[in-house]
């Protein structure tokens, strides 16, 4: 269309506009956070449609989450109207790959109505195979194997392609054999797992050039957001699809690569220019999201990383608030601080939905959720159940409820075989039946059945052990502190052991959540009081609709933005997480730092970082060191002055801390005495970071004074 430029191009800066209008040929947009990459991608897509270069079904656009895909579709609809509905190939890698596979499933040995199995099924299947091979499934768990296999799939390896050197330790190298068997089983079941979607696509394309040709012709334009997080399989898939017409546009930021553990490869960014010779690279340097201080703080932090491509960012949003960093006494004080700030901001006119709390690990959510329930601040947890709705928390509560009231049949049903103790569904059905017939509780029915010969001897022994344990735990109520009681129950029931043995991706998180749970019970005098609290919280704890504060992990905050962002728990071991440092050393640390960069750059106007001096972990106070990331923030853009008041740890805090524990043996704080090593450490730490507050190192971290009056360039 000739004449005046269409309205959607208005307001784009020259580089953005160049990226939007460069529709033909390979294009890489490499730019820092908030520079408008996603906006460019959507506008470009709309532009291609509006100028008649392609019809909606001829565009392939992939993003990482369904939420991102939805938002992209909305933005395009906003620009071009209902035609956007025809964008059938806009979605996540998985959703697009699944659609392609549906059409040609039979070519790789599946029927078009194949099912996609979830991780539970995946593990169940692997378990059967492991056992059939006479491998000890306790030592070599299905979960580990499923992770190994996922890893191979992420790297684009079918069983034949896995290098023998990568066979790994699993059951003395039997991993590959099991992988092959697993794939065969899936085929027989007419099923595939998530990793297969891309892998099957790749096999389909490489094995059937005509099919590849069909899709290469169909997709006139290919676009990818968050390109830095693509793994090898995704990359190979993209390359195959894009190599026909070469009209491929990827946007990304190497500093925001945060999925290394899922096999994402920053190298893909570098490979792009090799694989698509003549690719145009556009860099965007103006950040439209954040104010100067926020941007400078984030840019300064990320310069500590060595493996970077490096970039310059600037913003016109001068001034604004510095990034506020507060050290507080403990987790409770932290949640109080955040809740207070939220209430203040709300009074000042902000909506709740303009505020977000971004945590490193989900266990951190509990304190905030509980505080919000108390103050009736509406909140939403993104990407996962709320704390009290998590399976492990419900399990723990079921144990406690059953100890408190033996008639709680629902609790009994939930945990009678959790962890597995050989009491299967049929046995449980039997118990329920007896309970119904006799009008007694299930526990009573269990007692009856133990003395009969109704069930196999093994099951009866298992039941009788379980009932004996329950009775013993019940007898501890009142004499043992309920925090201790729950710890005992979790240990003696084998619950924590089962999680420890389980090397799956969530077991560590679940253990952390349980620790957090034990810790949180300290605020209640009795088990009864605690359980009553839980039932109230569970009742109030309905998903808020409408205006609500966001709580989510840093990982799920990718690509999003909020006017006010809270970043709690910036302590060594929490963030950077101990695990990432233990497992991956310097590389792990750099990835954590990128995550910190993602966190700060979510903020438009205000970013608030906090850390605590003490955390209670399994009832033990441990002193925490502020995160090294706190030290790495350029001091010129940080406001740490106001927090000295929080460091004091006044007498009120001391006494609550001490009264939490009546068993001196487990506590670093001995009741009534503040001379214990734990207390000293905590005090030293406290004064330690009071000093730090004054001596954070200066703005060496890459902040250059703005030469042009209109902008403050920040070198990264």
Q: Which residues are annotated as a binding site for ATP?
A: 31-38
Q: How far is the CB of 602 from Mg ion (least distance, A)?
A: 11
Q: Which of ligand ATP, Mg ion, none does residue 524 bind (CB under 5 to 8 Å by kind)?
A: none
The distance of closest approach from Cβ of residue 351 to ligand ATP in the complex, given in angstroms and rounded to an integer, is 16
Buried b or exposed e, range 358-379, using 16+ CB within 10 angstroms:
bbbbbbbbbbbbbbbbeeebbb
Q: Minimum CB separation from ligand ATP for residue 561, in Å?
A: 6
Task: Say which entry of ligand ATP, Mg ion, none residue 16 contacts (CB below 5 to 8 A, set by partner kind).
Answer: ligand ATP
- Can 225 be counted among the known catalytic residues? yes
Tell me the number of residues near Mg ion by CB under 5 A.
3
Q: Which does 12 bind (CB under 5 to 8 A by kind): Mg ion, ligand ATP, none?
A: ligand ATP
Give the CA angle between residues 299, 305, 307 to the nearest 5°: 120
* 33 binds, options ligand ATP, Mg ion, none, Cβ within 5 to 8 A by partner type: ligand ATP
**Residue 436 beta carbon to ligand ATP: minimum distance, rounded to whole angstroms:** 56
Angle, helix 93-104 to helix 194-207, in steps of 10 degrees? 50
Cβ pair 296, 703 in contact under 8 A: yes
Return all residues near 126 (Cβ < 8 A) that are at least 6 apart.
142, 145, 146, 149, 178, 182
Helix (H) or strand (E) holding 334: helix 331-347
- Smallest gap from Cβ 38 to Mg ion, in A, equals 3
CB 282 within 8 A of CB 22: yes
Among 473, 369, 459, 363, smallest CA distance to 411 is for 473
Q: Compare residues 64 and 152 and give the one whose CB is closer to Mg ion.
A: 64
Residue number with the smallest Cβ distance to ligand ATP: 36
Site for Mg ion in 326-365 (CB under 5 A): none
Specify the DSSP class assigned to residue 626. Answer: B
Task: Choose between 225 and 408: whose C-beta lies nearer to ligand ATP.
Answer: 225
- Closest of 95, 90, 96 to residue 76, by C-alpha: 90
CB of 632 to Mg ion, least distance (A): 24
Burial class from Cβ neighbours inside 10 Å (0-12, 13-18, 19+) for residue 525 reads: exposed
> Which of Mg ion, ligand ATP, none binds 34 (CB below 5-8 Å, type-dependent)?
ligand ATP
- Considering the candidates 141, 181, 234, 256, report the single residue annotated as catalytic: 256
- The alpha carbon of residue 85 and the mean position of all alpha carbons in its chain are separated, in whole angstroms, by 30
Q: Should residue 559 be labelled a site residue for Mg ion when binding is judged by CB under 5 A?
A: yes
Residue 280 CA to residue 23 CA, distance in Å, equals 11
Catalytic residue among 123, 150, 196, 225: 225
Q: Which residue among the candidates 38, 183, 459, 616 is catalytic per the annotation?
A: 38
Q: Name the residue nearer to ligand ATP (CB basis): 96 or 600.
A: 600
CB nearer to ligand ATP: give 174 or 604: 604
Q: Which is nearer to ligand ATP, 288 or 696 (CB)?
A: 288
Nearer to Mg ion, 171 or 223 (CB): 223
Shortest separation between residue 561's beta carbon and Mg ion, angstroms:
9
- Is there binding between residue 686 and Mg ion (CB under 5 A)? no
- The active-site residue out of 17, 37, 594, 608 is 37
- Residue number, nearest CB to Mg ion: 38
Asked whether position 287 contacts Mg ion by CB under 5 A, the answer is no
Q: Where are the beta strands (DSSP E) in 426-535?
A: none
Q: Do the beta carbons of residue 47 and residue 21 sit within 8 Å?
A: yes
- Residue 177 φ/ψ, nearest 5 degrees: -55, -45
From the list Mg ion, ligand ATP, none, pick the one residue 36 interacts with, judged by a Cβ distance below 5 to 8 Å according to partner type. ligand ATP
Q: Which is nearer to Mg ion, 37 or 637 (CB)?
A: 37
CB atoms within 10 A of CB 77: 15
Upstream peptide bond of 576 is cis (omega within 30 degrees of 0): yes
CB of 574 to ligand ATP, least distance (A): 23
- Is 37 an active-site residue? yes
Nearest Cα neighbor of 654 from 686, 630, 628, 625 is: 686
**Residue choice 16, 23, 38, 335 for contact with Mg ion (CB under 5 A):** 38
Q: Report yes or no: 595 and 359 within 8 Å, Cβ to Cβ.
A: no
List the single partner that 65 binds among ligand ATP, Mg ion, none, CB under 5 to 8 Å by kind.
Answer: none
Pick the closer one to ligand ATP by CB: 316 or 586: 316
Catalytic residue among 143, 602, 608, 615: 602
Q: Count Cα atoms within 13 angstroms, Cβ side, for 77.
A: 11
Indicate which residue of 15, 196, 226, 605 is catalytic.
226
> Is 147 marked active-site?
no
Angle at 435 between CA 429 and CA 440, to 5 degrees: 160
3-state secondary structure of 614: strand
Active site annotation includes 256: yes
The residues of the shown chain that bind ligand ATP, judged by CB under 6 A, are 11-13, 16, 31, 33-39, 253, 256, 288-289, 559, 561, 601
Q: How far apart are CA 462 and CA 458, in angstroms?
A: 6
Rounded to a whole number of angstroms, the minimum distance from the CB of residue 38 to ligand ATP is 3
**Residue 31: what are its φ and ψ, rounded to 5°?**
-160, 155
Indicate the residue among 559 and 702 with the shorter CB distance to Mg ion.
559
| Interface characters, 218-257, with Mg ion (x: CB under 5 A) | ----------------------------------------
Nearest to 330 by CA among 660, 652, 653: 653
Helices (H), 140-222: 142-154, 175-188, 194-207, 209-218
Binding partner at 146 among ligand ATP, Mg ion, none, C-beta below 5 to 8 Å by kind:
none
Residue 300 binding: pick among Mg ion, ligand ATP, none (C-beta 5-8 Å cut-off by kind): none
Q: Which residues are annotated as a binding site?
A: 31-38
Catalytic residues: 37-38, 225-226, 256, 602
Positions touching Mg ion (CB under 5 A) are 37-38, 559
């Amino acid at each position: 269309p000739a004449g005046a430029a269409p309205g959607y191009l208005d307001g784009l800066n020259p580089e953005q506009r160049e990226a939007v209008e460069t529709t033909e040929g390979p294009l890489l947009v490499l730019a820092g956070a908030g520079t408008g990459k996603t906006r460019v991608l959507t506008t470009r897509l709309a532009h291609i449609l509006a100028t008649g270069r392609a019809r909606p079904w001829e565009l392939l656009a992939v993003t990482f989450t369904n939420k991102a895909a939805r938002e992209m579709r909305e933005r395009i609809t906003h620009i071009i109207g209902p035609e956007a509905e025809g964008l059938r190939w806009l979605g996540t890698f998985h959703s697009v790959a699944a659609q392609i596979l549906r059409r040609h499933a039979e070519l790789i040995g599946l029927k078009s109505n194949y099912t996609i199995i979830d991780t539970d099924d995946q593990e169940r299947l692997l378990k059967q195979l492991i056992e059939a091979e006479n491998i000890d499934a306790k030592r070599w768990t299905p979960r580990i194997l499923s992770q190994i296999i996922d890893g191979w799939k992420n790297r684009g390896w079918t069983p034949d392609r896995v290098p023998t050197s990568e066979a790994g330790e699993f059951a003395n190298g039997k991993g590959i054999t099991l992988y092959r068997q697993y794939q065969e089983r899936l085929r027989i079941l007419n099923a595939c797992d998530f990793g297969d979607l891309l892998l099957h696509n790749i096999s389909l394309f490489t094995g059937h050039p005509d099919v590849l040709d069909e899709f290469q012709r169909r997709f006139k334009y290919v676009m990818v957001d968050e390109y830095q997080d693509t793994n090898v399989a995704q990359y190979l898939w993209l390359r195959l699809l894009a190599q026909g017409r070469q009209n491929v546009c990827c946007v990304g930021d190497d500093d925001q690569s945060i999925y290394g553990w899922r096999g994402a490869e920053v190298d893909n960014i570098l490979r792009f220019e090799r694989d698509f010779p003549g690719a145009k690279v556009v860099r965007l340097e103006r950040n439209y999201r954040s104010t100067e201080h926020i941007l400078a703080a984030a840019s300064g932090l990320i310069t500590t990383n060595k493996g970077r491509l490096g970039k310059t960012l600037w913003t016109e949003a001068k001034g604004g608030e510095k990034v506020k960093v507060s050290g507080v006494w403990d987790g409770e004080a932290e949640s109080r601080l955040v809740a207070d700030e939220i209430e203040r901001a709300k009074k000042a006119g902000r909506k709740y939905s303009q505020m977000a709390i971004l945590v490193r690990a989900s266990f951190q959510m509990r304190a905030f959720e509980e505080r919000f329930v108390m103050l009736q601040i509406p909140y939403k947890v993104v990407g996962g159940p709320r704390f009290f709705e998590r399976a492990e928390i419900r399990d723990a509560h079921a144990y406690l409820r059953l100890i408190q009231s033996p008639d709680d049949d629902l609790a009994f049903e939930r945990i009678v075989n959790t962890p597995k103790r050989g009491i299967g569904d049929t046995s449980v059905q039997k118990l329920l039946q007896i309970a119904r017939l006799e009008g007694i509780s299930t526990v009573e029915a269990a007692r009856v059945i133990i003395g009969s010969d109704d069930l196999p001897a093994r099951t009866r022994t298992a039941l009788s052990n379980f009932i004996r344990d329950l009775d013993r735990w019940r007898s501890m109520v009142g004499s043992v502190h309920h925090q201790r009681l729950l710890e005992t129950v979790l240990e003696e029931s084998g619950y924590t052991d089962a999680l420890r043995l389980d090397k799956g991706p969530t077991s560590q998180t679940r253990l952390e959540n349980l620790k957090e749970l034990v810790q949180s019970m300290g605020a209640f005098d009795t088990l009864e009081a605690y359980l009553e609290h839980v039932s109230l919280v569970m009742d109030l704890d309905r998903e808020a609709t409408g205006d609500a504060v966001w709580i989510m992990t840093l990982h799920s905050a990718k690509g999003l933005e909020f006017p006010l962002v809270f970043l709690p728990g910036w302590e060594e071991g929490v963030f950077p997480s101990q695990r990432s440092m233990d497992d991956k050393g310097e590389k792990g640390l750099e990835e954590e730092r990128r995550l910190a960069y993602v966190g700060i750059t979510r903020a438009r106007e205000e970013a608030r970082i906090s850390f605590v001096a003490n955390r209670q972990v399994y009832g033990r106070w441990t002193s925490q060191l502020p995160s090294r990331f706190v030290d790495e923030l350029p001091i010129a853009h940080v406001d740490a002055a106001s927090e000295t008041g929080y460091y004091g740890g006044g007498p009120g805090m001391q006494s609550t801390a001490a009264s939490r524990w009546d068993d001196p043996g487990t506590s670093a704080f001995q009741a009534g005495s503040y001379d214990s090593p734990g207390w000293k450490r905590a005090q030293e730490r406290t004064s330690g970071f009071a000093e730090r507050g004054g001596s954070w190192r200066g703005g060496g971290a890459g902040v250059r004074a703005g030469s042009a009056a209109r902008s403050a360039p920040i070198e990264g």
